């Protein structure tokens, strides 16, 4: 089942995992909607239906102390921060009809001569939910030596209105201004989000967008993808070579990898050709090796289709071999693993679980099935393997490769190239 945030696809889960995700998201305060016919689970943050207007007070447009370019930067940052919570944020002129909104914010910035420190003035209509968000702004501003002045307005018709005046010294320019403007915009956003949360009475978890939550929970995956991208470049440039054993204070970091495989020919149908094998990895050093990344590279790309006991990343945690320690097995690293195999000829694979290979221990990427996609032309087909232990700073190429030579007479010779 696909997971959508608004109109955007953010991932997918197995159908039997949907009820658990539904309840988890609902308890955290997200809006949840099942679209069974479309196979979609719709998730939206708690502030998704809240409308916010940010405008600049046009009555102050002619004020000579006003710096509109600096003002725009703070307004833009506040808009982005509030939008991340799922709220619908619009920039408007103050003469426009505002309609019903959850929050109306006016922001203006002034460069004031002879002041030595920046200052924020807040104008708001007093209410029972206003103490906490104002105290948050005061607390964070105090850490940065920014003054805060608060003015309560007697305007019961506009409880949602907040006016913000930002005042900075005239000698604040360049990179110094860039830093302080971002800090002030973030502090104001912290306070305004707190105000929205308290007034709405929603769960604090639902303030964080699902996208941000997924990125936070998948930080390890981002690190892995970054490491893989770096190694891909080296593969293309041919920089990955057989590893030289590292020796440090009698500790040896070393390993060997090789294919163990067989060519299967269907006597009734000579076009039905398949290679079945395993990639064996042995720790031949004296220190444990952690979390291997495996790259299987086919040449020419798309000439051999490799399958096996390897799971797509979106179902690895649920479809892997379940043990007391969690799911085990192998998974593709990239979501678009099939397209990468067809276009680049590369499959990137890693262990589902945290995998440690002790000295003299062996692990196997087992039951690899390699089917030839086209045997009509004369060609040489090869499958190479590269194993990367980024945690140990080690990388290597397998000792042998799978090599098949096709000729026009449909004769197939199996070659094994030993380095």
12 has a pLDDT exceeding 80: no
Do 62 and 37 lie in a common domain?
A: no
Do 37 and 85 lie in a common domain?
A: no
Do 14 and 34 lie in a common domain?
A: yes
Do 141 and 10 lie in a common domain?
A: no
Do 265 and 377 lie in a common domain?
A: yes
The CATH number of residue 152's host domain is 3.40.630.40
Closest CA to 401 of 259, 257, 255: 259
Q: How many CA atoms lie within 13 A of 96 on its CB side?
A: 13
Q: Is residue 206 part of a domain?
A: no
What's the DSSP call for residue 127?
-
Do 20 and 97 lie in a common domain?
A: no
Q: Which stretches of 205-345 are assigned E, i.e. beta strand?
A: 246-248, 251-253, 255-266, 269-283, 289-290, 293-299, 304-307, 310-311, 321-323, 326-328, 330-332
| 251-253/246-248 β-pairing | antiparallel
Instruction: Name the most confidently modeled range: 23-27, 56-60, 117-121, 216-220.
Output: 117-121
Collapse the DSSP code of 144 into the 3-class scheme (helix H, G, I; strand E, B; otherwise coil) and give the result: coil
Of the given ranges (4-8, 121-125, 180-184, 258-262), which has the lowest mean pLDDT?
Answer: 4-8
Do 64 and 197 lie in a common domain?
A: yes
Do 184 and 225 lie in a common domain?
A: no
Do 65 and 33 lie in a common domain?
A: no
Closest CA to 416 of 245, 260, 249: 260
Of the given ranges (126-135, 292-301, 372-381), which has the lowest mean pLDDT?
Answer: 372-381
| Burial class for 54, CB neighbours closer than 10 Å (0-12, 13-18, 19+) | buried
**Do 98 and 132 form a contact (C-beta atoms < 8 A)?**
no
Domain, as residue range, for 280 = 219-235+248-418
| pLDDT, tens digit, 9 for 90 and up, residues 122-179 | 998 776 567 888 999 999 999 999 999 999 887 655 556 889 999 999 887 667 778 8
Of the given ranges (82-86, 165-169, 299-303), which has the lowest mean pLDDT?
Answer: 82-86
The CATH number of residue 413's host domain is 2.60.40.3880
Give, in degrees to the nearest 5, the angle at Cα 88 between 38 and 100: 115
Of the given ranges (14-18, 211-215, 255-259), which has the lowest mean pLDDT?
Answer: 211-215
Q: Is residue 120 part of a domain?
A: yes
**Do 87 and 52 form a contact (C-beta atoms < 8 A)?**
yes
| pLDDT, tens digit, 9 for 90 and up, residues 210-252 | 555 555 554 455 555 555 555 555 554 455 555 555 555 668 8
Separation between Cα atoms, residue 10 and residue 215, nearest integer Å? 10
Q: What would the mean pLDDT of 48-64 be, rounded to a whole number? A: 78
Q: What would the mean pLDDT of 332-337 be, rounded to a whole number? A: 85
| Between 364 and 326, the higher pLDDT residue | 364
| Between 272 and 212, the higher pLDDT residue | 272
């Amino acid at each position: 089942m696909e997971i959508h945030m608004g109109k955007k696809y953010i991932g997918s889960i197995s159908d039997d995992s949907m009820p658990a995700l539904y309840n988890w998201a609902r308890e955290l305060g997200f809006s949840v909607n099942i679209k069974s016919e479309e196979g979609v689970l719709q998730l939206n943050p708690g502030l998704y239906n809240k409308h916010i207007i940010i405008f600049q007070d046009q009555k102050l447009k002619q004020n000579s102390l006003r710096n509109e370019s600096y003002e725009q930067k703070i307004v833009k940052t506040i808009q982005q921060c509030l939008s991340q919570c799922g709220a619908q944020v619009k920039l408007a002129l103050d003469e426009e009809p505002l309609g019903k909104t959850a929050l109306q914010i006016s922001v203006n910035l002034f460069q004031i001569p002879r002041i030595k420190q920046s200052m924020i003035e807040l104008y708001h209509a007093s209410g029972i939910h206003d103490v906490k968000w104002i105290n948050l702004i005061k607390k964070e501003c105090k850490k940065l030596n920014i003054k805060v002045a608060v003015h309560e307005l007697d305007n019961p018709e506009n409880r949602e209105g907040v006016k913000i005046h930002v005042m900075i010294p005239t000698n604040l320019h360049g990179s110094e201004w860039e830093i302080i403007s971002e800090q002030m915009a973030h502090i104001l956003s912290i306070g305004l989000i707190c105000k929205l949360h308290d007034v709405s009475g929603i769960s604090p978890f639902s303030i964080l967008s699902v996208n941000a939550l997924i990125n936070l929970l998948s930080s390890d995956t981002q690190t892995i993808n970054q490491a893989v991208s770096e190694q891909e470049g080296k593969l293309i440039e041919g920089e990955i070579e057989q590893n030289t054993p590292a020796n440090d204070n009698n500790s040896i970091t070393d390993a060997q990898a090789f294919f163990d495989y067989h060519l299967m020919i269907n006597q009734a149908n000579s076009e039905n050709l398949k290679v079945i094998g395993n990639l064996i990895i042995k720790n031949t050093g004296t220190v444990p090796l952690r979390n291997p990344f495996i790259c299987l590279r086919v040449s020419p790309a798309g000439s051999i289709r490799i399958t096996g006991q390897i799971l797509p990343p979106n179902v690895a945690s649920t479809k892997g071999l379940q043990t007391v320690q969690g799911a085990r097995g192998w998974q593709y690293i990239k979501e678009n693993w099939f397209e990468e195999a067809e276009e680049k000829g590369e499959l990137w694979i890693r262990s589902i679980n945290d995998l440690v290979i002790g000295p003299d221990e062996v692990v196997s990427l087992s039951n690899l099935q390699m089917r030839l996609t086209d045997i009509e032309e004369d060609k040489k087909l090869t499958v190479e393997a590269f194993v990367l232990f980024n945690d140990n700073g080690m990388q290597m190429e397998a000792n042998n490769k799978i090599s098949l030579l096709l000729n026009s007479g449909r004769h197939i010779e199996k070659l094994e190239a030993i380095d």
